[in-house]
Amino acid sequence: VQSGPVSTTTQAEIYLSQFGYLPASARNPANGGLLDANTWTKAVQDFQSFAGLNVTGELDDETMRLMSMPRCGVRDKVGFGTDSRSKR
């Protein structure tokens, strides 16, 4: 569980997996799991889109600033969350 500001790719990775933008396996960067570039970019884009930021796919300052904001611990209803829709 992460607390505090998000300022590195690893912290962002944990954040994105914690809130449903990346699969849970990405939550533990120590497990050696590698993310392909597309998955990572898509996760950042999904977060930016959900949060109303410019959708660049880049982990820019604005994105990390929003990731650092205090927030609710419930997953956002996207991507890999257990509540995500299987069919739309």
Partner 1 sequence: YALQGSRWRVKALTYKISKYPKRLKRSDVDTEVAKAFSVWSEYTDLTFTPKASGPVHIEIKFVESEHGDGDAFDGVGGTLAHAFFPVFGGDAHFDDAEQWTVNSPRGTNLFQVAAHEFGHSLGLSHSDVRSALMAPFYRGYEPVFKLDTDDVLAIQALYGKKSTQNGNGLNPTSGGAFPRTTQRPAFTPPRAPRDDVICKDPKIDALFNSAEGQTYAFKGNKYYKLTENSIAEGYPKLIAEGWPGLPGDIDAAFTYKNGKTYFFKGTKYWRYNGRQMDGDYPKEISEGFTGIPDHLDAAMVWGGNGKIYFYKGSKFWRFDPLKRPPVKSSYPKPISNWEGLPNSLDAALQYTNGYTYFFKGDKYYRFNDRTFAVDSADPPFPRPSAHWWFGCKNTPSSTGVDDHQAHDEASEADRSVMSNSA
Instruction: Name the residues that contact partner 1, by CB under 8 A.
Output: 1-4, 19, 49-52, 54-55, 66, 69-77, 83, 85, 87-88
- CA dihedral angle for residue 49, residue 60, residue 22, residue 81, rounded to 10 degrees: -40
- Toward partner 1, which CB reaches closer, 41 or 75? 75
Q: Least distance in Å: CB of 85 to partner 1?
A: 8
Choice between 58 and 83, CB closer to partner 1 = 83
Residue 8 is which amino acid?
Answer: T
